[in-house]
Amino acid sequence: MARRDTDPGAAGGARSAAWSAHSAVDTAEGPAVDIVLEVLEGCGEAARREAERLGPVDIISSTELRLCTRDLTAVRALRCVVSAYESVIAPTRRPTGILETSVMQDLTARIRGIRRATPRTTPFTGIRIAAAGAGTPVMRRIAEELSERSGLPATEDGNLLVRIRRADPGIAREASWEVLLRTTPRPLSARAWRVVDYPGAVNATIAASILDLLDIGADDEVLDMTCGSGTFLVEQLAVTAPARAVGVDLSEVAIDAARAHQRAARHKGRVEWVVGDVLTTPLDPVFTRILSNPPWGELHGEHAENLALHGALLRRAAELAAPGARMGVLTHEIRRMHTVLEDPECGWSLMDEHRFFQKGHHPRLFRLRRRASRG
């Protein structure tokens, strides 16, 4: 993932000037707003492509982007992003400057706007400060002031998350502090449609990023060979309903969860959910996009068994694939996957690999292309 130059002496002034130009844009629909996007490592490029539809994007790091946009409704619908925050820069060397009247008025107005845009069914219930030294007297005073002005209590489990940190020198022209207001009561990655707590489910933002890499269109026929609770296919329906979508899993409990998730999501499009073994279930060899998130040793499978399973899944996928099909395999079994791909009978060629990082786990996406048949 490309990163911006972080040497403030070399490029900070240029970045600051460029970003100020973006942020100063006003339109008939209102001023553009500076939004900080938190992303999982590995999802940044997909998140950048998604966010660029809303406005200019600056890459801060592998886990943070900065977007300038006036479409705040669309920000709350971003799928490859963990959380989105409105940014307020306080031109002060010390955090006590955040208590200055004009800064507090700005923060209060932003909080009021964020609350107005939030459905009444999922309201903000309290303010929570996240900062280095969150328990210090200064941070407690900031929390109390925001609480008094907003009418929301300051609590340890408040869902209006307020992050406070020193401002990036590449954004602020002088020593400043940055206050980040999360725009939603829950992270964007916590999908409202996920009504069943199914163990081992794919993180939704990782799933959305993988689907972006597979570039699924309305003419594609899509098969999820190990669909679990349906994350991949439900996420796909949020973007484009393919011509056909089939999800297969051995577990009836998993398929029941997938159906519940599809109903809760209320996306257009039909999915055929099948309880069965994808290695033997009769299916037509027509699929142009195939997905698999095989069991892995720590949770659902045993490492020794997974070499054979990965090989069997790829050979079966080759049988079900249309000419020129592409496949995405998300797995923790990196060495075993490489071993399987060395087998000329697996039917697939490696296009590239893409690593993700989440809570100590480092799954990898293997993006594959169907080999031409020898006949």
Of 149, 323, 176, 321, give the one whose Cα is nearest residue 246: 321
| pLDDT (0 to 100) of residue 304 | 62
In the CATH scheme, what is the homologous superfamily, with its name and number, of domain 204-370? Answer: Vaccinia Virus protein VP39 (3.40.50.150)
| pLDDT (0 to 100) of residue 18 | 42
| pLDDT (0 to 100) of residue 29 | 52
| pLDDT (0 to 100) of residue 172 | 74
Instruction: Tell me the domain boundaries of the chain.
Output: 8-182, 204-370
| pLDDT (0 to 100) of residue 65 | 98
| pLDDT (0 to 100) of residue 2 | 37
Averages of pLDDT over each 10 residues, the chain, 375 residues: 36 42 47 95 97 96 96 96 97 95 97 94 96 94 97 96 93 88 97 94 96 97 97 97 98 98 95 98 97 71 74 97 97 93 94 91 95 72
Residues 6 or more apart whose CB falls under 8 angstroms from that of 212 comprise 46, 49, 50, 80
Taking the CB of residue 321, how many other CB atoms lie within 10 A of it? 25
Residues 6 or more apart whose CB falls under 8 angstroms from that of 281 comprise 248, 274
| pLDDT (0 to 100) of residue 173 | 72
73: Cα within 13 Å, side-chain hemisphere? 4
Q: Region of 72 please: left (phi>0), alpha (psi -120 to 50) or beta.
A: alpha
**Helix or strand (DSSP H, E) at 341:** helix 334-341
Instruction: Quote the CA–CA distance of 337 and 295 in Å, as a whole number.
Output: 13
Q: Where does the chain show beta strands of DSSP type E? A: 26-27, 30-31, 33-38, 57-61, 64-69, 83-90, 127-131, 160-166, 177-182, 221-224, 244-249, 272-275, 287-292, 321-331, 348-355, 364-370
For the chain, report the end-to-end CA distance as a whole number of angstroms: 40
| pLDDT (0 to 100) of residue 1 | 36
From the candidate CATH numbers 3.30.2130, 1.10.287, 3.40.390, 3.30.420, the one assigned to the domain spanning 8-182: 3.30.2130
